Amino acid sequence: MNMDILIEDARWAEAGFEALAERACAATLDRLGIAGAEISLLACDDARIAVLNADFRGIPSPTNVLSWPSQERGADEPGGDPYPPEDLELGDIAIAYETCAREAEAAGRAFADHVTHLLVHGTLHLLGYDHIEDKDAGLMEALEVEILGKLGIADPYGEAGA
């Protein structure tokens, strides 16, 4: 796995973002049997992600994580597995510090655990997983819980949620 990481907010470096990203993305790709993939990551603040969220989703407010897959990989039927990547340049993920910190605190979860969950979540989005339809959400959440469990992180959906 190759990761291109841009840290725009120094708090991410202090939080050990590179190690968290390596661990989360590698665990996700390993679980799905994908080797040699490339992911670009932007570790930013709420102001930056709010601009990205407005530009790409029409929602002018901060969010925790955004993902831009390099190609459409979604399943043909709800609850089905997405298509495996043909292009190993999977896409881009952006993650916002303040929103992640607020969410972790509100849920009573360790910041590192919450960030790891969001990076697993974002990586699954790059691979075509989604949570719009209930069957897709069930599949995606089950994978998240399995991957996080292997990393020693409790089920984020069984607690206060993600």
- In the chain, the domains with their CATH numbers are 2-150 (3.40.390.30)
Confidence class for position 159, pLDDT limits 50, 70, 90: low
Q: What is the mean pLDDT of the chain?
A: 96
Distance CA 145, CA 23 (A): 15
Q: What is the pLDDT of residues 61-77, one digit of tens each?
A: 999 999 999 999 999 99
Q: Which of 97, 95, 92 is nearest to 14 (CA)?
A: 97
Q: What is the pLDDT of residues 133-156, one digit of tens each?
A: 999 999 999 999 999 999 999 999
Is the pLDDT at 162 greater than 50? The verdict is no
